[in-house]
Amino acid sequence: MGDRRRLVWEIVNQQAEGANLEGVNLAGANLKGANLEAAYLKNATLDNAKLENANLTGANLMNANLQRATLKQAKLISATLKGANLANADLEAANLYIANLRDAQLQGINLKDANVQGAILPGGESKEAFDESDESDESDESDESDESTSN
């Protein structure tokens, strides 16, 4: 068994909790349901990886490449994703409670039904600040439409 295949097998079938996987290349790996709680995955390559239902609670994914990764229903509670590339990643129903996404790339990301409460977003704002700006944008639009209909 090759080194990479052995590593994937070990992550999925044994405890990888707290493992040091800095810079590891797991592009396209099937890590569904893996327990990577508190794992150190700084600078890891996980593009196109399948991480559905994976436990990444408290994991350090700083500057990791997660482009096009599937993280449906993954637990990323308190995870550090600072500077990570999550472009076109699928985080549907993922739990990102108080995760740090500062400076992360989120273009094309799917966050449908995801919990981002308390998360620090790319510009450093909290989820709550993000919600408030959405609400003010909506109220500005409704004010404008009210003005145009009254004229």
Which range marks the domain in which residue 30 is found?
1-126
DSSP structure class, residue 50: B
Q: Is the pLDDT of residue 85 over 60?
A: yes
69-to-47, 52, 75, 106, 150 alpha-carbon distances in Å:
5, 9, 14, 12, 48
Q: What is the CATH number of the domain that holds 77?
A: 2.160.20.80
Q: How many domains in the chain? A: 1
* In-domain check, residue 101: yes
* In-domain check, residue 139: no
* In-domain check, residue 143: no
**DSSP codes of every residue in 50-74:** B-TT-B-TT-B-TT-B-TT-B-TT-
The per-residue pLDDT for 4 is: 76
Per-residue pLDDT band for 56 (boundaries 50, 70, 90) equals very high
* In-domain check, residue 93: yes
Summarize the confidence of residues 126-141 as an average pLDDT.
Answer: 47
Query: Locate tokens 């990791």: which residue?
Result: 64
Q: Is the pLDDT of residue 49 over 60?
A: yes
Q: Is the pLDDT of residue 91 over 80?
A: yes
The per-residue pLDDT for 151 is: 46
H helix or E strand, kind and range, residue 81: none
Per-residue pLDDT band for 112 (boundaries 50, 70, 90) equals very high
Q: Is the pLDDT of residue 43 over 70?
A: yes
* In-domain check, residue 89: yes
* In-domain check, residue 41: yes
* In-domain check, residue 142: no
- In angstroms, the CA 121 to CA 32 distance is 25
* In-domain check, residue 148: no
The per-residue pLDDT for 48 is: 98
Summarize the confidence of residues 100-125 as an average pLDDT.
Answer: 92
- pTM as predicted: 0.79
The per-residue pLDDT for 143 is: 47
